[in-house]
Structure 1
Amino acid sequence: MTNSSIKKAAMILSFSMVITTFSSQAWAEQGTNTSTPAYVMSSDSKNPYEVAGIDDPAEFTAYFSKLQKAVKDNKPAEVADLISYPMNLNKDNKTYVIYNKEEFIKKYDRIFTSLVRDILLAQKVDKLFVNYQGVMVGDGELWMGVRNNKLGVIAVNITNNPYEIAGIKNPVVFEHNFSLLQKHVKEGKKSEVAHLMVYPLKVNNKGKTIEIKTKKDFIAKYDKIMTAKVKKALLAQKLDKVFINSKGVMIGNGELWMGQFGEQVGVFAINQ
């Protein structure tokens, strides 16, 4: 997690808190800059969540485990019980307010998107970021804290994912891998390019398809696979101009296709 992502997420939460004020809501004064990762405890305190207004660290740890289990088991009603209402939903630079359990359950898939769920389930409790605004999951996709005397999720920040139709869960991962692919191809780093392929990789040429089954095989045949035409199309491609459909993300005029398979995001087909 970078400092810039932490600051950005904190700013999003601050903004939503400023424009939406609730009765009986007790928050620290805006402008406080005290923050600490949960895994760093000061010598005089055994409660890393104290700055967020959470008095019992054991209670929070149990709560967090319960939240992850309810999400993993896909039980919206149980997740709804772990929300502190009213909850802020920040999406497309707008803040929406979820007032109660019924509304949350009805909109569950639009609030706890696949990306939010994946990030929550991947979060280690001892790696949480904590400041006066609450406890942050991931890069700010979800915030927890005490609202109206109840510990729960207080805000969800949804990142726009233009690649969702292609089955890509995290746009940041895709864009990172796309950038790496262009960089490594430009620099001629065959081994690094091989790591960004999904195997077996399909290579189509003149109506015939061959499968490249391993990284070693890809590296050995690199120049025959990554032809001048393929490399030119890749290096000329602007990220904001890619074509996306249910099959994947198309590079150039179809010279390369990228997608997600399991947890791997990479090139799965090359058309020469």
Structure 2
Amino acid sequence: MTNNSMKKAAIILSLSIVTAVFPGQAWAEQGTSTSTPANVTSSANSNPYEVAGINDPAEFTAYFAKLQKAVEGNKPAEVADLIAYPLNLNKDNKKYVFYNKNEFIKKYDRVFTSRVRENLLAQKADKVFVNYQGIMVGDGDLWIGKQNNKLGVIAVNILNNPYDVAGINDPIVFEHNFSLLQKNVKEGKKSEVANLMVYPLKVNHNGKTMQIKTKKDFIAKYDKIINAKVKKALLAQKVDKVFVNWKGVMIGNGELWIGQFGEQVGVFVINQ
């Protein structure tokens, strides 16, 4: 996991349990306090999950496989059985609590969002981050641990995504690709820059539009496409200062637009 990912994961919950219950209130706000997970704790023995209070590593790996299967099969009721209630949901700097399966199932799609599901299914059981608070999945999307003597999901964190309106699912992917784009353009690595374009790429100049259909075509016309104006705008852009709307993420004064197409996040329009 990158340092950037770990910083993003550091918005995670405090694991304190709120005991005041309002019957039937599944989406009740319970406060905004969060805490930062400690550094990864390694164990010299054969149980890497011991620090999280899990005595049998096989118990966790079997549970984790069952959770992934239920989520992959889109079975909310089965996922609900794998939650250790009360479940904390952290979203928009606020904490909400789910006290039982019925409450959770009603809000399943708002708790297990597409990002949460994707990061869970991509996670390898032997690559998780572990500390005294529990076992972290993805970039802090889920925490698993023992609560009330039950192994289960104890917290879900909906990480803020400033690029969501542009249709970009994962802010870390966008920021990684943007950083690569700046680096490769600065170093003049034409082939690597070509990999960060979405084809057909539209290049607008003096009211005319040229379509670049392939990477080979892009590389051949690289110096005409990534001209001095485009390069200057890209390299001067701060990632936290981009303009975002439903069309995509704007770089500079519109010299480049970045968006997501399928699984690819890349430049789809260049305005010279």
Q: TM-score range by the shorter chain?
A: 0.7 to 0.9
Alpha carbons 1:255, 1:271 under 8 Å: kept: yes
Instruction: Report what 1:164 is aligned to.
Output: 164
Deviation at 1:61, TM superposition (A): 1.5
TM-score (norm 1): 0.82
Aligned length: 258
1:176 alignment partner AA: H
| Displacement after TM superposition at 1:153 (Å) | 0.2
Match of 2:119 in 1: 119
- Residue aligned with 2:258, SS: strand
CA–CA separation in structure 2 for the residues paired with 1:196 and 1:87: 39
Letter of the 1:152 counterpart: G
How does the TM-score come out when normalised to structure 2? 0.82
Decide whether the 8 Å contact of 1:142 with 1:155 is kept in 2: yes
Contact 2:15/2:133 (<8 A) preserved: no
Unaligned runs of 5+ in 1: 24-29
For the structure 1 residues 228 and 6, does the alpha-carbon distance in structure 2 shift closer, same or farther, using more than 3 Å as the test?
Answer: closer
Distance (Å, rounded) in 2 between the aligned partners of 1:7 and 1:236: 24
What's the RMSD between the two structures over aligned residues?
A: 2.9
How far apart are 1:253 and its partner, in Å? 3.4
Matches within 5 A, 1:1-272: 1-2=1-2, 5-6=5-6, 9=9, 12-13=12-13, 16-18=14-16, 20=17, 35-36=40-41, 42=44, 45-272=45-272
Q: What is the CA–CA distance in structure 2 between the aligned matches of 1:120 and 1:252, rounded to whole Å?
A: 35
Partner of 1:161: helix, strand, or coil? coil
Provide, for residues 145-178 of structure 1, a one-character-per-residue CA deviation record: whole Å limited to 9, x for no partner. Answer: 1111111100112210011122211112212222
My pick for the range that moved more, 262-271 or 49-58, is 49-58
* Alignment check: 8 A CA contact 1:34 1:51 kept: no
Task: Give the counterpart letter for 1:74 in structure 2.
Answer: N
**Aligned CA distance change for structure 1 residues 169 and 36 (closer, same or farther; 3 Å):** same
Offset of residue 7 of structure 1:
7.5
- Opposite residue 15 of structure 2, the aligned amino acid is M
- Structure 2 residue runs of 5 or longer lacking an equivalent are 21-34
- How many angstroms does 1:186 deviate by? 3.0
SS in 2 for 1:254: coil
Change (3 A) 1:53 1:115: same
Q: Measure, in 1, the Cα distance between the counterparts of 2:52 and 2:258.
A: 41
Q: Which residue identity is paired with 2:210?
A: I
Tell me how far 1:194 sits from its aligned partner.
Answer: 1.7
Between the aligned residues of both structures, percent identity stands at 77
Matched-pair contact (CA < 8 Å) for 1:259–1:267: yes
Question: Do the aligned partners of 1:61 and 1:125 also contact (CA within 8 Å) in 2?
Answer: yes
- The separation in 1 between residues aligned to 2:59 and 2:254, in whole angstroms, is 53
- Classify the secondary structure of the residue corresponding to 2:232: helix
When residues 83 and 261 of structure 1 are mapped into structure 2, their CA distance, relative to the original with a 3 A threshold, is same
Question: 1:147 corresponds to which letter in structure 2?
Answer: Q
Give the counterpart letter for 2:151 in structure 1.
L
Partner of 1:26: none
Asked whether the 8 Å contact 2:5–2:172 carries over to 1, the reply is: no
> How far does the alpha carbon of each residue in 1:181-239 deviate from its partner, in whole angstroms, 9 at most, with x for none?
22332333323322211223222334543332332321221011112232233233333
Q: Report if aligned partners of 1:35, 1:132 keep a CA contact under 8 Å in 2.
A: no
Secondary structure in structure 2 of the residue aligned to 1:204 = strand
Partner AA of 1:228 in structure 2? A
**Does structure 2 conserve the Cα–Cα contact (< 8 Å) formed by 1:35 and 1:51?**
no
Range moving further from structure 2, 3-12 or 240-249: 3-12
